[in-house]
Amino acid sequence: MRRRSLTRPTTGFSILELLIVMAISAVLTSAVLAVLRAVQKAGARIEETLVSSGAEIGGTRQIWLDLRRAGISFNLVAQAATTPAGAGFYDSIPDVACPASDAACCQRLSVVTWTRPGVTGSGSPFVAAISPGGLSPPVPLSPLVFYDTPAPAKGTARSLTVRQPLTFNAVRFSDSLEEALRTHDPAASKPGYDPGSRYDNRLIRLYSPILQRPRAGRRRATPAELASGSCDLPQNTGAMGACIQKNPLYSPPANASFVGLYRGGTLTDAKSPDWLPRQCHPTMNLEINSPDTFFRSMPPVGGSRAFGMAMPVDLIRYRVEAVAEKGRTTGRLLREIYQRTGGTMGWASSHIVSVGVRCARFCRKTIGEGSITVKVVMDTKEFQDDDTAKGAAFNQMSWWKVCYEQPCDSGA
């Protein structure tokens, strides 16, 4: 008879089995964690892309609203182009087709404002004159009522063959201007409306509706020439002169114009190195520095009688400013208004349009193209890595190629 064993049989896992299970669990856990990290990184990239795209779209939308009203900038604002360097960004030939095959004359124009960590004075601010909303549209003015002629001596008949000296009547001009603006102002019907206070400290542009080209052998001055020279029209030299010699209609025409600050019933010269170093007549060596000079130099319209137009104008500026954000330096796109503050005219009322910006690029396809496109390029890790790796070699960086070298009709 067999004796029954008194020891109980062994149950459960062996040490070897536990080690195998633990090893498999560690492998699975590592795989799951790797997937989670990848998902988190992808989510962060998607979130960054969405935020960046939202900021880019929001910033671009604000600029587009301004560009739709910037038609008065053409052949008025002295904005130097970034490419080609020194050319007038707003030079325009609206009355002649500019063939794309003539690349030398129908060149692409762009203005780029940008920022880079550790660099000051980045790019060129973009300036535009726009039509302000909610105010009077352009109104006609007849200069006949602004001038006085001396009465003949007592007992002497007025001669029709002898020229009488004309004296500009500033009070009558101010009254006529305010009356014209009031007549067409949408807010004129509101109680307590006063055109004098409504337009006080605002820019008013006087202009002739007639486009005029410089006389033969002369051309329109570039922004740099306006800033450093006089109103004497330059000779047809350089690339622009060669184009005009090829076709005289390639010479950008302009309106006789005067932009002044309206304050206390007077309109004073509002020229500024920021946007218009001097206000020159389009055909003569003449600086238009007062309403009197403007009206005396206007061309006749529809016969021998001259008339001008008046309209309120706003000046805006876009620029990218370096700013510290989340422990690093990036850029923010600012919109500023040119206005009177503290007794002087200057750029004020800064409004942040977009953050995390590397550059903003404004572009025209040709000198004959009347539209402006804009591209806001957001700051990225690739651009920041280039900043660190390539030092001062700007033109070899990926952001430089996007901001400067991309064609006007490619992503802009």
pLDDT at 97: 80
pLDDT higher than 50, residue 58:
yes
pLDDT higher than 70, residue 154:
no
pLDDT higher than 70, residue 161:
no
pLDDT at 411: 46
pLDDT at 412: 43
Partners of residue 338 on adjacent β-strands: 347
Q: Which tokens hold the place of 133?
A: 């909303």
Q: Which tokens hold the place of 328?
A: 């690093």
Band of the pLDDT at 245, cuts 50, 70, 90? Answer: confident
Band of the pLDDT at 269, cuts 50, 70, 90? Answer: very high
| Kind plus residue range of the DSSP H or E element containing 228 | helix 223-228
Instruction: Return the SS3 of 25.
Output: helix
Residues 6+ apart with CB under 8 A from 375: 60, 360, 361, 363, 406, 411, 412
Band of the pLDDT at 365, cuts 50, 70, 90? Answer: confident
Average pLDDT, the chain: 81
pLDDT at 156: 62
Band of the pLDDT at 5, cuts 50, 70, 90? Answer: low
CA distances in angstroms from 12 to 5, 7, 17, 18, 388, listed in the order given: 20, 16, 10, 10, 60
Q: Which tokens hold the place of 87?
A: 């050319």
Residue with the bigger pLDDT between 65 and 55: it is 65
Percentage of the residues of the chain whose pLDDT score is greater than 70: 82
Count other C-beta atoms under 10 Å from residue 371's C-beta.
11
pLDDT at 170: 92
Q: Which tokens hold the place of 60?
A: 């671009």
Nearest to 307 by CA among 214, 207, 211, 180: 207
Which 3-state string (H, E, C) describes 84-130? CCCCECCCCCCCCCCCCCCCCCCCCEEEEEECECCECCCCCCEEEEE
Give the mean model confidence (pLDDT) for residues 130-146.
86
pLDDT higher than 80, residue 45:
no
Q: Which tokens hold the place of 182?
A: 């009031």
pLDDT higher than 90, residue 10:
no
pLDDT higher than 60, residue 197:
yes
pLDDT higher than 70, residue 366:
yes
d(CA 52, CA 54): 5
Band of the pLDDT at 393, cuts 50, 70, 90? Answer: low
pLDDT at 378: 84
Residues 317-340 pLDDT 10s: 999 888 877 777 788 889 999 988
As a whole number of Å, the CA-based R_g of the chain is 33
Phi-psi region of 275 (alpha: psi -120 to 50; beta: other; left: phi over 0): alpha
Residue 119: CA atoms inside 13 Å, Cβ hemisphere, count? 18
253, 75 Cβ separation under 8 angstroms: yes
